[in-house]
Amino acid sequence: MTGEERKVIMASSAGTIFEWYDFYLYGSLAAIIGAQFFTAFPEATRNVFALLAFAAGFLVRPFGALVFGALGDLIGRKYTFLMTIMIMGLSTFLVGLLPGYSSWGAAAPIILIVLRMLQGLALGGEYGGAAVYVAEHAPANRRGYFTAFIQTTATLGLLLSLVVILAVQGYVNGNWDPSPVLDATGAAVMNPDGTAKMIKAFDLWGWRIPFLGSIVLLLISLYIRMQMNESPAFKKMKEEGAASKAPLREAFGPGRNALVLLIVPILFVGAIMTGTLSSSIAMILGIAFAVISVIWGWRNAKIATIALLGLVAGQAVVWYSGQFYALFFMQNVIKVDSFSANVFVAWSLILGTGGFIFFGSLSDRIGRKPIILAGCLIAAVTYQFVFPLLTKTANPALHAAQQTPITVTASPEDCSFQFNPTGTAKFTSSCDIAKATLARTSVNYESVEDPAATVAQVKIGETVIPAYDAAALTGDDLKAATAAFTKSVNDALTAAGYPISADANTTVARAQNFFDIFTGQKIAIILILTYLILLVTMVYGPIAAMLVELFPTRIRYSGLSLPYHIGNGWFGGLMPATAFAISAQTGNVYGGLWYPIVIAAATVVIGALLVPGNTHKKDIFADDAK
């Protein structure tokens, strides 16, 4: 690698790391931020809202891909880089300044989501430019190796965010005492035992420091971007007059094609999320959609569609399952404290990140397609075993308790779908209250339909506990019924072995500091998480080079950006919220894993049938002449 090639990679990678750092700060702190901005909602709904606000940044990424992709093909890669980093950096800084729900009411979460969407727009233009810029500088037989450095930036950005969070968290909590938790009315929130519920200083206000500190990274990133030269391939193309005058139309054909590319995945994902389509029917429709696009002959749009469904969709769900959902799962399902969960994930990232370079380089020799599809297949086959193993290892008491048979018996008309993205639904029936109470304790349960039941009943072991209808009660009666039911359930769960009190659970893994990992339990957790990261590196390491090789230079930025950001923004970004909602609805804490399993399996089928092979041998400049 020459000095100039190293400069290209370092300049592109450093700026992109900082941009991913900004974007993923929210994901790493989703649970804490949710408690600050969605305090008006119950805990289960609050967690879904926090993840949906995280997903909002992903939902708009394809639109950022369209806007900045076109600009990148029209005015160049460098100036598009400068615009995206400015939008990203300022949006992140403003999140750190934004008052919470208790100060600004409903305006606070609305502005938060707007800022997340601005971040998504910026990131929609960032990745494609970085991948194209490096690939156009890379030797023909080493594109996988060179672009693999860009692939590390998302993981390194996440790692940087975790390290900063851990450092700030340790300092703030070590120097400031916890404070009482207040509800929306300003009254103290009480624990079941009558003591005041406390919140750590970092969870209350310290989480803002990493967001505010991003202004320093913004200035560094701007300096780095200013030192970059334009891609020689783009300059040569402009000089020869071969640049596209309408890159979006040339990349995707008539407007209806891009519209279909945007709308169909929304309907596809939405159908799975809401249960409108079964997983098997959804897979069949996905394959049919890809086949129809080929028959219709969409030219470059055909390639974009195949790339989306045969490569990127599976890569996206594996990426987010192995990193973000694994972190969320540890914190909110397994009940590992956030500091320890961040430590374990950070070490897995350190151990596994080299896999990006390894698989990127390997793809230069054996091809991109077989590595990506193998990663999707292995993930689809093993997820249902890996996540229960993670529970058993990280929280043995919880795993043992989950073997106790627990049922919720209720009339089907009494039970609602627990996914509530608008926050307008009121879950007041006895069935809904019973399920929400169990979900907060990571309980595995089965639903039993009894049309004759007037009130839902929870059976824990041999103990039967009737729920209550909140709509029929008011005031003190409602508070008394809630307290009595919650206490009865917690007592029965405690008798069944559920560790209701996190502080009293001696089996759950805890890290006292960043280097407190040298016990058998903690090393096993890190190895399980590293396995998930290695699957991420298999699907993600070669993907940039693969996408670059599918489109000619004049529309490369636009062409690869849209399918990449639809796949990662919608299929991947919605993965945590969707999996959480499916788990809450089914009563199985592992039920949400079917979402990534089905999509990864569908990608393997579509990719094997329709994605071209041996693209690593292609001359990416051969089609530049008009």
User: What is the tens place of the pLDDT at every residue in 225-257?
Assistant: 777 776 666 666 666 665 566 565 665 555 555
Q: Nearest to residue 406, comparing CAs of 360, 372, 439, 430?
A: 439
Between 340 and 471, the higher pLDDT residue? 340
Among 130-134, 164-168, 274-278, 456-460, name the one with the lowest average pLDDT: 274-278
pLDDT of residue 424: 41
Q: Nearest to residue 407, comparing CAs of 483, 339, 463, 469?
A: 463
**pLDDT average, residue stretch 179-190:** 75
For residue 447, is pLDDT > 70? yes
Q: Which pTM value belongs to this model?
A: 0.78
For residue 297, is pLDDT > 50? no
Between 341 and 81, the higher pLDDT residue? 341
Among 61-75, 335-349, 445-459, name the one with the lowest average pLDDT: 61-75
**Whole-number mean pLDDT of the chain?**
81
Among 91-105, 420-434, 450-464, name the one with the lowest average pLDDT: 420-434
pLDDT of residue 421: 43
**Maximum average pLDDT range among 101-115, 364-378, 395-409, 422-436:** 364-378
* pLDDT band with cut points at 50, 70 and 90 for residue 343: very high
pLDDT of residue 626: 45
pLDDT of residue 394: 96
Q: Exposed/middle/buried for 174, CB within 10 Å: 0-12, 13-18, 19+?
A: exposed
* pLDDT band with cut points at 50, 70 and 90 for residue 422: very low
* Cα distance between residue 180 and residue 204, in whole Å: 10
Which three-class secondary structure state does DSSP give residue 589? coil
**pLDDT average, residue stretch 583-607:** 88
pLDDT of residue 45: 59
pLDDT of residue 259: 54
Backbone dihedral angles phi then psi of residue 460, each to the nearest 5 degrees: -115, 110
User: What is the tens place of the pLDDT at every residue in 109-135?
Assistant: 888 888 888 888 887 777 777 788 788
For residue 299, is pLDDT > 70? no
Among 187-191, 284-288, 535-539, 554-558, name the one with the lowest average pLDDT: 284-288
**pLDDT average, residue stretch 506-532:** 95
* pLDDT band with cut points at 50, 70 and 90 for residue 569: confident
pLDDT of residue 599: 92
Which distant-in-sequence residues (6+ apart) come within 8 Å of 186 by Cβ? 102
Backbone dihedral angles phi then psi of residue 30, each to the nearest 5 degrees: -55, -45
* pLDDT band with cut points at 50, 70 and 90 for residue 370: very high
DSSP string, 514-563: TT---SHHHHHHHHHHHHHHHHHHHHHTTHHHHHHTTS-GGGHHHHHHHH
User: Is the Cβ–Cβ distance between 291 and 602 less than 8 Å?
Assistant: no
* pLDDT band with cut points at 50, 70 and 90 for residue 281: low
User: Is the Cβ–Cβ distance between 62 and 127 less than 8 Å?
Assistant: no
**Maximum average pLDDT range among 9-23, 196-210, 360-374, 413-427:** 360-374
Q: How long is the chain?
A: 626
CA angle 364, 365, 368 (to 5 degrees): 55
Q: Rounded to 10 degrees, what is the CA torsion of 115, 119, 121, 125?
A: 160
User: What is the tens place of the pLDDT at every residue in 504-517?
Assistant: 888 999 999 989 99
pLDDT of residue 440: 75
User: What is the tens place of the pLDDT at every residue in 383-405?
Assistant: 999 999 999 999 999 999 988 88
Which three-class secondary structure state does DSSP give residue 233? helix
Among 123-127, 374-378, 448-452, 525-529, name the one with the lowest average pLDDT: 123-127
**Maximum average pLDDT range among 120-124, 225-229, 298-302, 372-376:** 372-376
210-238 as b/e: b if 16+ CB within 10 A: bbebbeebbeebbebbeebeebebbeebe
Between 277 and 536, the higher pLDDT residue? 536
* pLDDT band with cut points at 50, 70 and 90 for residue 533: very high
